[in-house]
């Protein structure tokens, strides 16, 4: 399954483009723009599993840094600051990574 099976290519382009500048990433706005906020809980979980590149069941800090590339291969990497901010917003249990339920909550709170 591909990210474009779940989200519109047009929405992905607009969302990735909106945060092309360094240190401009806002996960709340991004998840809304990309159409993730409107998706069913099941589809949000499917997106999580696509973004979990190493299939560990978690999105770790290094995967978070390249989260935009999970939506569009030519997107930029997040800065260290953006990555830490996203991790802090999503890591509810403090284990240094984001699980599927934490990701679902992060999207729902957007």
Judge whether 14 is annotated as a binding position. no
Judge whether 58 is annotated as a binding position. yes
Judge whether 95 is annotated as a binding position. yes
Judge whether 82 is annotated as a binding position. no
Residue 110 pLDDT class (50, 70, 90 cuts): confident
| CA nearest to 86, candidates 62, 69, 53 | 62
Write the CA distances from 20 to 11, 15, 39, 76, 92, integer angstroms.
Answer: 14, 9, 24, 7, 27
List, in order of start, the domains of the chain with CATH numbers. 3-109 (1.10.238.10)
Enter the pTM of the model.
Answer: 0.94
Judge whether 54 is annotated as a binding position. yes
pLDDT in tens, 12-65: 999 999 999 999 999 999 999 999 999 999 999 999 999 999 999 999 999 999
Q: How many C-beta atoms lie closer than 10 Å to residue 27's C-beta?
A: 21
């Amino acid at each position: 399954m591909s990210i474009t099976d779940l989200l519109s290519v047009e929405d992905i382009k607009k969302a990735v483009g909106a945060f092309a500048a360094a240190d401009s990433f806002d996960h709340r706005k991004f998840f809304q723009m990309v159409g993730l906020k409107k998706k069913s809980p099941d589809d949000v979980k499917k997106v999580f599993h696509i973004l979990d590149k190493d299939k560990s069941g978690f999105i770790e800090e290094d995967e978070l840094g390249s989260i935009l590339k999970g939506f569009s291969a030519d997107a930029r990497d997040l800065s260290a600051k953006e990555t830490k901010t996203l991790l802090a917003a999503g890591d509810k249990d403090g284990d240094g990574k984001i699980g599927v339920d934490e990701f679902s909550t992060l999207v729902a709170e957007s």
